[in-house]
């Protein structure tokens, strides 16, 4: 007898509701972002059920940084398993992914890429203007309509071959001049000017900012891993963070590898992973050096 499988959209809605229930239980401040947590007014689009832009495969929550441990412990107590920690999720190291049978995965964000204000201060700024809505009969907290728009724009800015797709067109292209000004001011408040300009134009105006090269690369679909690596190191805050970022980007993503094979890597597998990653790094560096030395007409 085949088991009934809930539609993906339904499991995502339930996951948002469960995440809020757990946050309330442990006393963690949580803002639900993206997907079904985005209100129609923030997108200037139609009704939620027919709007494809908010289709999502997981639930994204932004947690007050001081409450991250509380939230992760609460999820674990309720049967969630850590799939990827913060270092294994993405090069931004901004979110941990947890999963539970019967529900969608939940991405627990400790900050949002593109927002360069200190994470605790940034969360407080978003929290003070929060709104509430109901998902799966659970009252949840979401950012203000303006912040919802900004988060979608920042998210779209780091998409490969960024082209102001529908997700960004709704909150930006359709915005009136007053709303665009409000978005620019909120981006400035959150020190998100660079990513914001990468998405909306005027990136040259912030070309002296440390993160300029990174967002220029991300928003144009930069393919060179060496140039991306250099840009991420330059964008890091302080020399210690630059060193840590540089080293971490050279290491293999053992968390994802373990998830793929369903168990922790043994010593031999770890060694081979590091050797292969080093080889890939050397090959990429050699290709980049060859590209830089080649005559302009021969560069590919």
Express each pLDDT in 195-243 by its tens digit. 999 988 889 999 999 999 999 988 887 656 667 767 777 777 765 665 5
Degrees to nearest 5, angle at CA 119 with 114 and 123 = 95
Q: Considering only CA atoms, which of 90, 140, 133, 134 is closest in space to residue 110?
A: 90
Q: Considering only CA atoms, which of 188, 184, 217 is closest in space to residue 116?
A: 188
* Angstrom distance (rounded) from CA 231 to CA 26: 38
CB distance 39 to 132 below 8 Å: no
Express each pLDDT in 245-292 by its tens digit. 555 556 656 666 666 666 676 777 666 766 666 566 555 555 555 444
End-to-end CA distance of the chain: 56
Give whole-number Cα distances, 289 to 167, 226, 235, in Å: 37, 10, 22
Express each pLDDT in 237-249 by its tens digit. 765 665 565 555 5
In terms of Cβ atoms closer than 10 Å to its own Cβ (0-12, 13-18, 19+), residue 239 is exposed
The whole-number pLDDT of residue 39 equals 87
The whole-number pLDDT of residue 227 equals 74
Residue 131 has pLDDT above 50, yes or no: yes
The distance from CA 3 to its chain's CA centroid, rounded to whole angstroms, is 33
Give whole-number Cα distances, 206 to 164, 168, 172, 199, 267, in Å: 20, 21, 20, 13, 45
For tokens 């409450």, the residue is 67
* Angstrom distance (rounded) from CA 221 to CA 161: 4
- What residues does each domain of the chain span? 8-230, 251-300
* Angstrom distance (rounded) from CA 64 to CA 30: 6
CB distance 259 to 83 below 8 Å: yes
The pair of three-digit structure tokens given for residue 215, joined into one six-digit string: 């967002």
* Angstrom distance (rounded) from CA 207 to CA 214: 11
Q: pTM of the entire structure? A: 0.79
């Amino acid at each position: 007898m085949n088991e009934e499988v809930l539609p993906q959209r339904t499991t995502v809605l339930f996951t948002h509701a469960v995440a809020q229930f757990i946050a309330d239980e442990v006393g963690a401040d949580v803002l639900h972002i993206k997907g079904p947590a985005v209100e129609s007014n923030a997108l200037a689009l139609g009704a939620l059920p027919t709007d494809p832009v908010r289709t999502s495969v997981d639930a994204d929550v932004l947690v007050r940084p001081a409450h991250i441990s509380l939230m992760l412990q609460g999820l674990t107590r309720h049967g969630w398993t850590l799939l990827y920690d913060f270092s294994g999720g993405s090069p931004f190291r901004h979110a941990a992914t947890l999963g539970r049978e019967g529900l969608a995965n939940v991405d627990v964000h400790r900050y949002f890429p593109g927002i360069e204000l200190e994470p605790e201060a940034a969360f407080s700024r978003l929290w003070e203007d929060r709104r509430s809505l109901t998902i799966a009969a659970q009252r949840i907290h979401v950012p203000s309509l303006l912040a919802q728009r900004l988060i979608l724009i920042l998210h779209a800015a780091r998409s490969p071959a960024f082209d102001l797709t529908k997700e960004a067109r709704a909150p930006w292209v359709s915005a009136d001049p007053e709303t665009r000004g409000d978005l620019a001011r909120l981006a400035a408040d959150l020190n998100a000017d660079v990513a914001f300009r990468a998405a909306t134009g005027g990136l040259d105006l912030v070309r002296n900012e440390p993160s300029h090269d990174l967002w220029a690369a991300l928003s144009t679909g930069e393919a060179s891993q060496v140039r991306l690596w250099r840009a991420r190191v330059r964008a890091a805050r302080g020399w210690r963070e630059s060193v840590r970022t540089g080293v971490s980007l050279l290491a293999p993503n053992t968390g994802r590898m373990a998830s793929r094979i369903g168990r922790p890597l043994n010593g031999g597998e770890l060694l081979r992973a590091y050797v292969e990653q080093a080889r890939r790094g050397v090959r990429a560096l050699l290709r980049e050096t060859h590209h830089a030395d080649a005559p302009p007409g021969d560069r590919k």
